[in-house]
């Protein structure tokens, strides 16, 4: 072999040996990079899961994993995201940056970045302790935990039409039992002071003590004046606590309820529905307008993340809430509230609407706690809907006030018997005006056959009942009414007198009365700021028909079923009574209605299970107008 060939071969063998060594070296470096990256990735994943123990990691400082798990536990289920950046390895040391973001229930997250590092020890990469503080913060010490403290901003007010708060802030005292100190003997005394059933509080205390619960047992919440009357007695009972709280309060417990709503501790259900807005222990609007507009009224809560020793780690200041303006008038609301209170244990409602503007001036319910029957109730309107039936008859030229229309005691349509309620039978020598004044069912039943199937429904819609204004009122579950087209002779007869499938709320009937008084249709308003969705204006009302209706409704008060209002102070009253059957009893039970207006105030009164509109609801309307006139 030639010397040149041998030399060349030797060079090739040397290069081959060197190349193999380089390949093995680079492979080993890549594996170290991957192992380092895997260790810091596992740390980031454990951090994301809020649990570093059991993550398969080795720590240079044995207690770091346990300390981290304990430190973040008070953050509960606050959403956490982590992101590990590039990992840089140099020899036996790997470093990187972990970006961390906690959703602590406010607009701005608690976000920070921490340096993370690991060192190769044998065949393992060991997580190193932070250079300062803990994995959560350089300002923390090992063994400290972290907690959040929410801080509400100044709450906005529900305002009346004049801009005055309807529920200004006031103090309440939630009386509760401390089960670690209270005794059965003390509970007997507390039952007397709070008027709770004998033995009830003692039983609740015994159950709490048996279970080992140390949580306070709520009993009752008093306003300041009511609490002051009982303070000395409560002070004498061991184990009774009553921390003072400030919250929105109406002038009385019943004022504007349940429309305005309540404020208090959020329930587990509200926390779940809020999608992070509320947390356990928060206080917020829990019903009515307070709940519907809670986000606006409350603004945005602030939050402080701090150590268990009070060292601040993150703070976001709260944003104060904004006011919500309504059309309510305090004097009108007071008069309405007092009027329905006279029905005692019998449920009732009264709505007042400004004739000129359509603004709702009062919404009163009795009982005040519970259903908002005044706005969302669905009741057969009875003979109050004869206003719409009459509008249909007049606009179609089927009657005039002097048209003879007999009023027999009963009449039969396809086998179904109809009878009169308010004024009884008028006989054969009656005019349509007489029938309207005395609310003669049988006369209206006979006239119903002359109307088209949708005649009453279209007239009701024209007068503002069944319109689409409920969605723009700013109140949840408002009901404007339903007067469907008839599907047969008996259904048409029943619909003409507000029975059958006809339904309306007291608000809807007050709107109807206001539109007749005004002579044009305006959608009612209740919440004006924030501005409601615009509602299209209704068609103009027939001026001649409206003028006749006004005369007929005045006659109801002067000589018909509404004479209880004949001498009401404040001026002439126009109205229509109604007695609406409901249920399956024989004879059926009845609701009592009266709708009408005086001056610029239109109103509707409902008394559930009242005997008749003229004898039960009309006196409530008079009580309302009398109080309103007295100021």
pLDDT at 19: 53
Regarding predicted confidence, which is higher, 454 or 280? 454
- DSSP per residue over 294-343, as a string? HHHHH-B-EEEEEETT--EEEEE--B----EEE---HHHHHHHHHHHHTT
Nearest-10 Cα torsion for 254, 256, 259, 263 = -60
Q: Is the pLDDT of residue 421 over 90?
A: no
pLDDT at 423: 56
Q: What angle do CA 303, 304, 307 make, to 5 degrees?
A: 150
pLDDT in tens, 515-550: 999 999 999 999 999 988 777 777 789 999 999 999
Q: What is the distance between the alpha carbons of residues 252 and 365, in angstroms, rounded to a whole number?
A: 13
Identical fold for domains 25-144 and 330-630, yes or no, is: no
Q: At what angle do helices 441-448 and 489-496 cross, to 10 degrees?
A: 130
Q: Where are the domains of the chain?
A: 25-144, 330-630
Q: Is the pLDDT of residue 324 over 80?
A: yes
Q: Is the pLDDT of residue 356 over 50?
A: yes
Comparing 5-14, 36-45, 355-364, which segment has the lowest mean pLDDT? Answer: 5-14
What's the rounded mean pLDDT across residues 41-60? 90
Give the CATH fold of the 25-144 domain: Nuclear Transport Factor 2; Chain: A, (3.10.450)
Q: Is the pLDDT of residue 422 over 90?
A: no
Q: Which residue has the tokens 């932070």?
A: 130
pLDDT band at 495 (very low <50, low <70, confident <90, very high): very high
Q: Are strands 302-307 and 312-316 parallel, antiparallel or unpaired?
A: antiparallel
Strand partners, 58: 126
Q: Is the pLDDT of residue 222 over 50?
A: yes
pLDDT in tens, 110-122: 999 999 999 999 8
Task: List C-alpha distances in Å: 515 to 185, 218, 409, 541.
Answer: 62, 48, 32, 9
pLDDT band at 412 (very low <50, low <70, confident <90, very high): very high
Q: Assess contact for 382 and 497: CB atoms under 8 A.
A: yes
| Global confidence as pTM | 0.83
Q: What is the distance between the alpha carbons of residues 122 and 6, in angstroms, rounded to a whole number?
A: 45
Q: What sign does the CA torsion over 59, 61, 64, 67 have? A: positive
Question: What percent of the chain stands above pLDDT 90?
Answer: 76
Alpha carbon 238 to its chain's center: 38
Supply the DSSP symbol for 504: B
Q: What is the distance between the alpha carbons of residues 617 and 590, in angstroms, rounded to a whole number?
A: 12
Q: Is the pLDDT of residue 354 over 50?
A: yes
Q: What angle do CA 115, 116, 120 make, to 5 degrees?
A: 145
Element (H, E) at 576: strand 573-582
What's the rounded mean pLDDT across residues 27-40? 86
Q: What is the distance between the alpha carbons of residues 420 and 564, in angstroms, rounded to a whole number?
A: 19
pLDDT at 370: 87
Instruction: Count CA within 13 A, CB hemisphere, residue 542.
Output: 15
Q: Which residue has the tokens 């926390």?
A: 271
- DSSP per residue over 493-538, as a string? HHHHTT-TT-BB-HHHHHHHHHHHHHTS----BSEEESPPPP-PPP
What's the rounded mean pLDDT across residues 322-329? 98
Q: Is the pLDDT of residue 318 over 80?
A: yes
Q: Is the pLDDT of residue 336 over 70?
A: yes
Alpha carbon 282 to its chain's center: 16
Q: Assess contact for 574 and 561: CB atoms under 8 A.
A: no
Q: What is the distance between the alpha carbons of residues 358 and 143, in angstroms, rounded to a whole number?
A: 65
Comparing 97-101, 130-134, 156-160, 245-249, which segment has the lowest mean pLDDT? Answer: 130-134
Alpha carbon 380 to its chain's center: 26
What's the rounded mean pLDDT across residues 439-451? 96
pLDDT in tens, 249-269: 999 999 999 999 999 988 888
pLDDT in tens, 175-210: 999 999 999 999 999 999 999 999 999 999 999 999
- DSSP per residue over 534-557, as a string? P-PPPPPP-HHHHHHHHHHHHHHH
Q: Which CATH number fits domain 330-630: 3.90.1200.10, 3.40.50.300, 3.40.710.10, 1.20.1050.10?
A: 3.40.710.10
What's the rounded mean pLDDT across residues 483-495? 96
pLDDT at 533: 79
pLDDT at 23: 52
What's the rounded mean pLDDT across residues 607-612? 94
3-state secondary structure of 45: helix
pLDDT at 597: 98
Describe the chain by its helix, strand, coil percentages, rounded to 5: 35, 25, 40
**Mean of the per-residue pLDDT values of the chain:** 91
What's the rounded mean pLDDT across residues 161-170? 97
pLDDT in tens, 81-94: 999 999 999 999 99
């Amino acid at each position: 072999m030639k010397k040149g060939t041998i030399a060349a071969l030797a060079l090739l063998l040397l290069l081959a040996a060197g190349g193999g060594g380089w390949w093995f070296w680079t492979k080993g470096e890549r594996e170290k990079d991957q192992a380092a990256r895997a260790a810091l990735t596992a740390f980031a994943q454990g951090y994301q899961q809020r649990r570093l123990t059991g993550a398969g990691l080795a720590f240079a400082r044995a207690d770091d994993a346990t300390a981290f798990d304990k430190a973040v536990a008070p953050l509960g289920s606050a959403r956490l995201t982590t992101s590990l950046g590039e990992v840089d390895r140099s020899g036996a040391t790997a470093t990187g940056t972990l970006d961390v973001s906690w959703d602590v229930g406010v607009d701005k997250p608690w976000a920070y970045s921490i340096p993370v590092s690991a060192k190769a020890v044998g065949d393992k990469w060991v997580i190193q302790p932070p250079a300062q503080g803990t994995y959560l913060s350089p300002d923390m010490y090992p063994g400290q935990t972290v907690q959040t403290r929410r801080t509400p901003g100044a709450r906005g007010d529900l305002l009346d039409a004049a801009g005055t708060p309807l529920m200004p802030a006031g103090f309440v005292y939630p009386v509760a039992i401390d089960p670690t100190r209270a005794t059965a003997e003390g509970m007997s005394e507390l039952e007397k002071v709070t008027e709770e059933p004998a033995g009830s509080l003692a039983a609740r205390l015994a159950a709490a003590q048996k279970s080992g619960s140390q949580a306070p047992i709520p009993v009752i919440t008093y306003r300041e004046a009511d609490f002051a009357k009982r303070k000395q007695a409560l002070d004498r009972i061991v184990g009774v606590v009553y921390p003072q709280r400030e919250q929105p309060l109406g002038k009385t417990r019943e004022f504007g309820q349940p429309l305005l709503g309540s404020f208090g501790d959020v329930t587990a259900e509200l926390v779940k529905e809020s999608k992070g807005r509320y947390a356990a222990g928060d206080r917020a609007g829990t019903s009515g307008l307070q709940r519907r507009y809670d986000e606006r009224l409350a603004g945005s809560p602030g939050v402080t993340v701090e150590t268990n020793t009070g060292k601040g780690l993150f703070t976001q200041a709260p944003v104060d809430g904004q006011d919500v303006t309504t059309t309510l008038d305090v004097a009108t609301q007071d008069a309405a509230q007092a009027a329905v209170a006279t029905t005692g244990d019998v449920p009732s409602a009264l709505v007042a609407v400004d004739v000129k503007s359509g603004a709702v001036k009062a919404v009163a319910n009795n009982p005040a706690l519970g259903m908002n029957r005044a706005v969302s109730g669905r009741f057969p309107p009875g003979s109050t809907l004869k206003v719409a039936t009459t509008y249909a008859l007049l606009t179609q030229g089927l009657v005039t006030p002097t048209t003879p229309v007999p009023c027999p005691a009963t009449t039969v349509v396809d086998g179904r018997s109809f009878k009169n309620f308010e004024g009884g039978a008028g006989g054969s020598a009656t005019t349509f005006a007489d029938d309207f004044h005395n609310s003669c069912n049988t006369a209206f039943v006979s006239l119903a056959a002359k109307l088209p199937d949708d005649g009453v429904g279209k007239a009701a819609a024209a007068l503002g009942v069944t319109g689409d204004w409920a969605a723009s009122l700013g109140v949840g579950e408002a009901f404007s009414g339903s007067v469907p087209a008839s599907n047969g002779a008996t259904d048409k007869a029943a619909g003409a007198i507000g029975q059958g499938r006809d339904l309306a709320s007291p608000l809807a009937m007050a709107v109807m009365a206001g539109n007749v008084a005004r002579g044009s249709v305006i959608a009612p308003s209740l919440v004006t700021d924030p501005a409601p969705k615009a509602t299209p204006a209704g068609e103009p009302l027939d001026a001649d028909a409206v003028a006749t209706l006004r005369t007929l409704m005045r006659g109801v008060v002067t000589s018909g079923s509404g004479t209880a209002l004949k001498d009401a102070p404040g001026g002439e009253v126009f109205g229509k009574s109604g007695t609406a059957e409901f249920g399956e009893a024989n004879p059926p039970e009845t609701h009592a209605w009266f709708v009408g207006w005086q001056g610029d105030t239109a109103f509707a009164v409902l008394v559930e299970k009242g005997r008749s509109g003229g004898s039960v609801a009309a006196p409530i309307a008079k009580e309302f107008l009398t109080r309103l006139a007295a100021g």
